[in-house]
Structure 1
Amino acid sequence: MDIDEENTEATINLSDTQGTTSAPSPSKRKAKGIRVAHFVDKEWKMHKRILNFYRMPPPHTGVALSEKINALLVEWGIEKKLFSITLDNASTKDCIVELLKKQLNFRGLLLMDGKFFHVRCCAHILNLIVQDGLKEIDGSVTKVHECIKYIKCSEGRKNKFFTCVAQVGLACSKRGLRQDVPTKWNSTYTMLDSAIFYRRAFLNLALVDSNFSSCPSLEEWDKIKKISNFLGYFYEITCLFSGTNYPTSNLFFPKVFKVHYCIQNAMEDCDDFMRGMGSYMNLKFEKYWSEYSLILAIAVILDPRYKLQFVEWGYDKLYGKELRKLKDVSGTLFALFARYMDEFSHLLVSNPVNQTPTQIKVGDKLFEEFDNIYQDGSTSVEKIELHLYFEEKRLDRKQELDILSWWKLEQFRYPILSCMAFDVLTIPISTVASESVFSISGKVFDQYRSSLLPETVQALLCTRDWLFGKEALEKEGADLEELTEEIFDMNLNENSGQCSNSISLD
């Protein structure tokens, strides 16, 4: 299978994840991986294509995995077009990245020696942050779990609860009452969110059923609502990070800023349980995000709703008048722009005035000193493009924006910046779709899919993905997130385990 000619010039951003087949014992399980290419075509339309679904025999070391990835890059002929690779945070991934960088840098294939090559899966990190926060869970949340467990135990209790629901005027609602699952933190959020909606029914049940002793008090319901609202921020952001049909790199800085700000506020909350959650979360946040990704900070600068002003405001809000971080971002931006200017200078239209031969008069020599001093500083492409972009009024931050379409329209005004946007805005900040992100269990194929040869699975997945793509999936009414989850659930814990699904109580 070859990449079609239309997209041969596109810069490729990769995401890579691994899974396992199901087997009676861990020793018999086989590791598999899936590699996805993210790129923008000449019409500024974003694409996501499965390149490989491969079996990875032992040993599963960083050296072996990097050699496998490098071989597949060469097989596809895209090693010269690679901009970044997005990976989760397993310990072997750092080794993989370093070895790949050395191999690609040896051939001079990476931009700025691979400074922006490795992008950590943001949804994975966010999940680890929330999981640490849930270690300090309040007892009221446990009570909600016990409430739903109590109702679920028998049909008689369910019917009694439904009667209470009708008595408090909620019978017309179609909202489900959900129970949490240990391997998916979002199930804790959806459990609390649904329980809050039915809290009057729970309180009513406590009055008519003397055996129902786990109902939270009014004060505890207030705590539950506070925790639910707090987790809601992370739930919303994780779903945004895990999108596959739109650029996500420009979402990183504002959303991680929001996460950071919420955690800081939680650490200063008047309630002990919120301070505990915030403290645990902050430790994990500092481990992975104490330094914001420079390339993803540049991505938000390339969003005309934010630009450099948002980065400046965000750092000031978090760190005060500390200029080092802002200087790092702006310095990296100008350095990256200079590299693109060297590569794409042929796109610039020379000023016809400068090409007109003029006869030097004797009196003109008087002003040559002025010309020599100020010529470079006032007419550099760097100033023309970057400063024009910064000086133009930002778009309304609240408006919906198809950012790739915006850059398509502006590419003739900003020829170099648009080339940067073409590459940077395609960087995926997550490796799988959102439903899989919430799982902290191992990615395990069932016994039926595991019986297929790896070559057969790869042929089926890649053929459907490349021939039909997003449009066909939408026409069929298929959900891309469900399709990804069918491939395998994402492993978001440092230890592997079995998958579980949420349980709904109607």
Structure 2
Amino acid sequence: MAERLTAMAQIPETRITSGPFEDPFSEPRTPSSASSLAPSNLSIQLSQPRPADDWNIFPWHTFPNLTISERRGRPKSWIWQRGYDLQEVKDQSRYRWVCHECVRKKDPRITAHLASATTNIEAHLGNQHHIYGGKSQLRQAKKRTIEQMFSQKTSETAVADDQFINHLKKRFTKDAFQRKLVRWIVKTNQPATDAHLSHDSIRRRITDEYYFFRSHIIKTLQQSPSHVHIAFDGWTSRNRHLLFGIVAFFLDHEFRPQKIVLGLPNLTDRHTGENIAEGVQNILEAFDLGRDKIGYFTLDNASSNETAMEHLAQRFQWDNSRARRVRCFGHVVHLVARAMLFGKDDASGVLEDDIDAEAYDVWLKRGPIGKLHNTMVWINRSNRVTEMLREAQRQDTEKSWPGSLNVIIGNNTRWLSQFYMMSRALKVRPYIDTVIADVRHEASKSKRKGGRQRPLPRCLDDESLLTEEDWKTIGFYHDLLRHFETCVKKLEGDGKQRIRKGGKEAAYGLVQDICPAYEWLMGHLEEAKSRADRTPEPAQCRTNINFAWVKLNKYYSAIDQSPVYYAATVLHPAIRWDFLHRAYRERPDWIGKAQQLIDGLWQEYKQLPVQFERGNYDQLRPIKRAKEVEYSFSSYLDSFKSTTTARLEGNEGDELDRWLQLAGPVEKDCDPFLYWFNKRFEYPRLTRMAIDILSVPLMAAECERVFSSCGNMVSAKRCRLQAETVAVTQTVRSWLKAGLLDDYDGLLKDVVAEE
């Protein structure tokens, strides 16, 4: 979306010194005059005919339902010089246009556009390829810079000057000027007062745009074939606004996952569950999301969230608030890791970067991890020691990374932050040892000379100094937590298909992977117990691993509070009941509970009216993905998937029974949303249940991404930003990034395009 908006708004940079603004003027032109006034450095490609033999490179395997158009004559519009003319096999009266540039570049997102939708085709050529023709070419030619405007020749007489000034005034566009002004303020982090406008002008314009486009978002959410799922979390900005990010997850008409920000209400009262519920409720009602459209809530394990869900259940008349709640898996893993490293006495309220005596003693009691924390805090708090660490790295010309690395300090908020602290410490350990040795040597040298000895930091005392055995213990925990990090990275996505490392196209963050993830982590904890005997403190390591196992088992045993987890596993076409029968073969009561939950959920769907009816629609193409060769978490997930499904006897029962009995083979890495899109007419009610469940986010990571964007906006120079300004800006920005406002031309257009 950012690239598309950048292309639409592409204007050459000006070189005037009076300000960073671009041309806010516009004037009507005839086609002949427009071409003469087009800037010479404007990136515009004129339409040119494509070679006639380009059918040889056309990807017919991607469009099996299309064939070469047989209509008489060739369309005269300029767009056909840049595309293929095709028609549908089943309905030869429906013509399609496929972009020649996308075919030539082998773009994986290539689409067959309806030939009648010429506006969309022109927008595609302009946004994606900077190719313009017809009216779009004329619009580009009209754009001129301020420098070009003022370089026009004028008469030397005063009358001519007055006429020229009046000429400029008539062609001054207030909206264009304000849009460029907002772009400059946001891009360069300038305070709004530098615009020399009233304090409320820009905020009022952005707020007006939010309310204007909200009706379009409401319509989009109501037309979604799936439930709208919600994730929310709190964050305090630099200027002390307590914002609650509320993010919606849903599917578009082609069953593709979407995510948008609905709002960031400012909670000025106490951070209680009741106040949270009120803020969330107001946002949901503002978007006309009611009892039947709202799906599940993905939240962390804060007790206030449980209270908030109880209040929301009363408002929307849900029978069981726990059934509607999905626990953020990233937060669960974070709590398990802390239980393993710090045991029952987590003491999470201690400031991570505090080095006073009380905090130091608390960390020291935590063993090698506490010692490491105190050492990292000492290095980070001392400019001199930090520079010594950097210099030690610069002296090593054989290290495997460029530049110098700083230490990382664990904290309470970032998931698995202690793992990243250990990872960095192990990586730069030789240089840390060098720094510690130099500091201790300086202290002893001063003492030998009879001078006043500087007191050593407490972390360098004999009882606090990291020993070789401590480093071995740290390495043991680090290797174990690496599996946790792999799991979080795999599951913190948003369910969208993207090109990953190595050219693999895959979707991360799908809810059907939750149960296998629990089993995978439980297995690694069990295996770590047997390896604990090889650590310097085997008894302590086994105890800490037991703490982690108990914490993980606590949340694993609670997944039957909601039907989402089991239903998502069974409704994935490549998994079905295989995982539950294999993983729970020694726990038949768990299989029985899963069957009960799925049957109960199916009863809510099997009597619903048919939502999907046959008609004119586009078939999504299957996506091929590369296989992963190493045995990893992905390989573990694949081990429960099957490429063939045995056909059982009989053809009786409802949709769920028929699908489990008769459904054919699928690929292991099949896209479940694409699969159910193709099955929506054969199993309409089961499809509705499947997409409602499979579209549930398993982490609230998107809230953290929103807060990161808010943090970039509320910089040190912009601490006077009001909470409402931050909220509406981030909200409209998310709508733009999701591609829901294709015709948007408002104040935030250029800001979003540059991100």
Q: Same fold (TM over 0.5)?
A: yes
Once the two structures are superposed, residues 398-437 of structure 1 have per-residue CA deviations (whole angstroms, 9 ceiling, x without a partner) of: x4x4332233234344433322221111112222349779
| Conservation of the 8 A alpha-carbon contact between 1:33 and 1:53 | yes
2:228 is aligned with 1:12: yes
Name the stretch that deviates more: 42-51 or 222-231. 222-231
Aligned to 1:55: 266
Which one-letter code corresponds to 1:53 in the other structure? L
2:250 is aligned with 1:39: yes
How far apart are 1:43 and its partner, in Å? 0.8
Once the two structures are superposed, residues 108-141 of structure 1 have per-residue CA deviations (whole angstroms, 9 ceiling, x without a partner) of: xx5x866631222222222122222221554277
2:529 is aligned with 1:255: no
Judging changes above 3 Å, is the alpha-carbon distance between structure 1 residues 387 and 141 closer, same or farther for their aligned structure 2 residues? farther
Question: Which of 409, 428, 434 in structure 1 is aligned with 2:678?
Answer: 409
Aligned to 1:488: none
- Secondary structure class of the residue paired with 2:229: strand
2:283 is aligned with 1:72: yes
| Conservation of the 8 A alpha-carbon contact between 1:13 and 1:37 | yes
Question: Which of 283, 306, 310 in structure 2 is aligned with 1:98?
Answer: 310
| Conservation of the 8 A alpha-carbon contact between 1:50 and 1:465 | yes
How far apart are 1:303 and its partner, in Å? 2.4
Aligned to 2:591: 326
Mapped to 2, the partners of 1:384 and 1:348 lie a distance apart of 19
Question: Which of 655, 663, 669 in structure 2 is aligned with 1:381?
Answer: 655
| Highest RCO, 1 vs 2 (Cα 8 Å, sep ≥ 6) | 1
Aligned to 2:177: none
Once the two structures are superposed, residues 184-242 of structure 1 have per-residue CA deviations (whole angstroms, 9 ceiling, x without a partner) of: 46343223223434456667888999749798666554433221111112222223333
How far apart are 1:170 and its partner, in Å? 2.0
Mapped to 1, the partners of 2:310 and 2:608 lie a distance apart of 26
Judging changes above 3 Å, is the alpha-carbon distance between structure 1 residues 408 and 161 closer, same or farther for their aligned structure 2 residues? same
Judging changes above 3 Å, is the alpha-carbon distance between structure 1 residues 181 and 63 closer, same or farther for their aligned structure 2 residues? closer
Which one-letter code corresponds to 1:189 in the other structure? F
| Conservation of the 8 A alpha-carbon contact between 1:18 and 1:31 | yes
2:241 is aligned with 1:241: no
- Secondary structure class of the residue paired with 2:577: helix
Alignment of 1:189-208 (within 5 A): 189-199=419-429
- Secondary structure class of the residue paired with 2:607: helix
Mapped to 1, the partners of 2:298 and 2:750 lie a distance apart of 24
Structure with the higher helix share, 1 or 2: 1
Which one-letter code corresponds to 2:337 in the other structure? V
Which one-letter code corresponds to 1:146 in the other structure? T
| Conservation of the 8 A alpha-carbon contact between 2:510 and 2:694 | yes
Aligned to 2:408: 179
Judging changes above 3 Å, is the alpha-carbon distance between structure 1 residues 200 and 84 closer, same or farther for their aligned structure 2 residues? same
Mapped to 2, the partners of 1:419 and 1:411 lie a distance apart of 8
Question: Which of 725, 728, 732 in structure 2 is aligned with 1:456?
Answer: 725
Aligned to 1:26: none
How far apart are 1:299 and its partner, in Å? 1.2
| Conservation of the 8 A alpha-carbon contact between 2:228 and 2:295 | yes
Once the two structures are superposed, residues 472-495 of structure 1 have per-residue CA deviations (whole angstroms, 9 ceiling, x without a partner) of: 9999574xxxxxxxxxxxxxxxxx
Alignment of 1:144-293 (within 5 A): 146=375, 153-154=384-385, 157-158=388-389, 161-162=392-393, 165-166=396-397, 169-170=398-399, 176-183=405-412, 184=414, 186-199=416-429, 211=441, 220-244=470-494, 246=496, 247-268=509-530, 269-270=532-533, 271-293=538-560
> TM-score if structure 1 supplies the norm length?
0.71
Judging changes above 3 Å, is the alpha-carbon distance between structure 1 residues 155 and 21 closer, same or farther for their aligned structure 2 residues? closer
Mapped to 1, the partners of 2:722 and 2:303 lie a distance apart of 28
Give me the CA root mean square deviation: 4.1
How far apart are 1:6 and its partner, in Å? 4.3
- Secondary structure class of the residue paired with 1:116: helix
Aligned to 2:371: 142
Judging changes above 3 Å, is the alpha-carbon distance between structure 1 residues 96 and 157 closer, same or farther for their aligned structure 2 residues? closer
Question: Which of 444, 469, 488 in structure 1 is aligned with 2:738?
Answer: 469
| Conservation of the 8 A alpha-carbon contact between 1:20 and 1:445 | no
Aligned to 1:430: 699
| Larger-Rg structure | 2
Judging changes above 3 Å, is the alpha-carbon distance between structure 1 residues 60 and 196 closer, same or farther for their aligned structure 2 residues? closer
Mapped to 2, the partners of 1:438 and 1:146 lie a distance apart of 30
Judging changes above 3 Å, is the alpha-carbon distance between structure 1 residues 225 and 304 closer, same or farther for their aligned structure 2 residues? farther
Judging changes above 3 Å, is the alpha-carbon distance between structure 1 residues 470 and 226 closer, same or farther for their aligned structure 2 residues? farther
Mapped to 1, the partners of 2:611 and 2:232 lie a distance apart of 34
Name the stretch that deviates more: 79-88 or 14-23. 14-23
Question: Which of 599, 607, 621 in structure 2 is aligned with 1:342?
Answer: 607
Which one-letter code corresponds to 1:139 in the other structure? P
| Conservation of the 8 A alpha-carbon contact between 1:35 and 1:52 | yes
> TM-score if structure 2 supplies the norm length?
0.50
Mapped to 2, the partners of 1:171 and 1:48 lie a distance apart of 39
- Secondary structure class of the residue paired with 2:266: strand
How far apart are 1:40 and its partner, in Å? 0.3
| Conservation of the 8 A alpha-carbon contact between 1:138 and 1:273 | no
Judging changes above 3 Å, is the alpha-carbon distance between structure 1 residues 435 and 277 closer, same or farther for their aligned structure 2 residues? farther
Task: Quote the sequence identity (%).
Answer: 19
Which one-letter code corresponds to 2:409 in the other structure? D
Count of aligned pairs between the two proteins: 429
- Secondary structure class of the residue paired with 2:652: helix
| Conservation of the 8 A alpha-carbon contact between 1:66 and 1:99 | yes
Question: Which of 337, 346, 353 in structure 2 is aligned with 1:130?
Answer: 337
